[in-house]
Amino acid sequence: MRIVILESSQVVAQRSAEIILDQVDRSPESTLGLATGGTPLGTYSELVRAVEQDRIDFSGCTTFNLDEYVGLDAEHPQSYRYFMRKHLFEPAGFDLDHCHFPSVDFEDILASCDDYEALIEDHGGIDLQLLGIGTDGHIAFNEQGSSLASRTRIKALTAQTRKDNARFFDSIDQVPELAVTMGIATILDAQKIVLMATGLGKAEAIRATVEGPVSASIPASALQLHPKVTVLLDEQAASLLERADYYRDVELIQRRLETSVAPK
Ligand code: GLP
């Protein structure tokens, strides 16, 4: 894992946006895996700004979102389909026909989970996957105890996740109990992964993800098994890392190498 400790959440947003812009610049028909939640909002604002400045064109990209709540329709302001349209897809000019979500149509949920996996595969897999992290170390809606070999499926949300996400709803009772989520193995299939975390509330989950053992109890720790993961952290989210000084040294060397021999 490449651990990058940055001075603020604003810089985390800028750095994550730079990685996505670089990907799409090199390959305008990239397949992007996208996340929701408060953390990627800054990233998405940066991407929208880049479009407004004519620096990039996302119309050739295909996207796959990590997850969606069961029981909310696409027009519900807290559905992830609505969130993505509002914060990224419409203002940044994505082709909505190429923006995919796991289906949450209850009648057909088992078959549609397999269809989502097949659709990702048909597109040649995900080139770059963006991730946030739950306070308990979950990624997407792979709650604690999720199999490290899991694929897209329906999951019951934990009380902690529902409590954390209640801030987006009028009350906790309105937070759905179920979601459809990419599995951990689905996420690990991506070519490159960027995990972002900001704020003290994520510090313990990040410590366990980066420096703890690989364990289904901390689903994000499975990222240790992937060869190309960049972890973008602000100082607060990095505050419990024992090897923080080492990561800073490595990053300085890495940046120096990249700026002197950067292939373009
Ligand atoms: C939800 C989402 C995750 C996200 C997490 C953290 O559980 N399913 O994809 O990473 O929330 O969200 P936030 O960035 O708001 O802390």
pLDDT tens across 193-232, in order?
Answer: 999 999 999 999 999 999 999 999 999 999 999 999 999 9
Please give the distance, rounded to the nearest whole angstrom, from the Cα atom of residue 36 to the centre of ligand 1. 6
Is the model's pLDDT at 264 over the cut of 60? no
Is 140 a pocket residue for ligand 1 (Cβ < 6 Å)? yes
Please give the distance, rounded to the nearest whole angstrom, from the Cα atom of residue 222 to the centre of ligand 1. 17
Q: Which of 110-114, 210-214, 231-235 has the lowest mean pLDDT?
A: 110-114
Residues taking part in catalysis: 67, 136, 138, 143
Is 132 a pocket residue for ligand 1 (Cβ < 6 Å)? yes
Is 66 a pocket residue for ligand 1 (Cβ < 6 Å)? yes
Give the pairing type, strands 229-234 and 2-6.
parallel
Query: Mind listing the pLDDT tens digit for each residue in 162-183?
Result: 999 999 899 999 999 999 999 9
Residue nearest to atom 3 of ligand 1 (CA): 140
Instruction: Enumerate residues 6+ apart whose C-beta is below 8 A from 170.
Output: none
The whole-angstrom separation of Cα 54 and Cα 167 is 34
Question: Using an 8 Å Cβ cutoff, are 192 and 228 in contact?
Answer: yes
Please give the distance, rounded to the nearest whole angstrom, from the Cα atom of residue 254 to the centre of ligand 1. 29
Residue recorded with tokens 């990419």: 182
pLDDT at 49: 98
Is 103 a pocket residue for ligand 1 (Cβ < 6 Å)? no
The whole-angstrom separation of Cα 56 and Cα 260 is 25
Question: Using an 8 Å Cβ cutoff, are 220 and 138 in contact?
Answer: yes
What is the share, in percent, of the chain residues with pLDDT greater than 70?
98
Residue nearest to atom 11 of ligand 1 (CA): 37
The DSSP annotation for 150-188 comes to: --SEEEEPPHHHHHHHGGGSSSGGGS-SEEEE--HHHHH
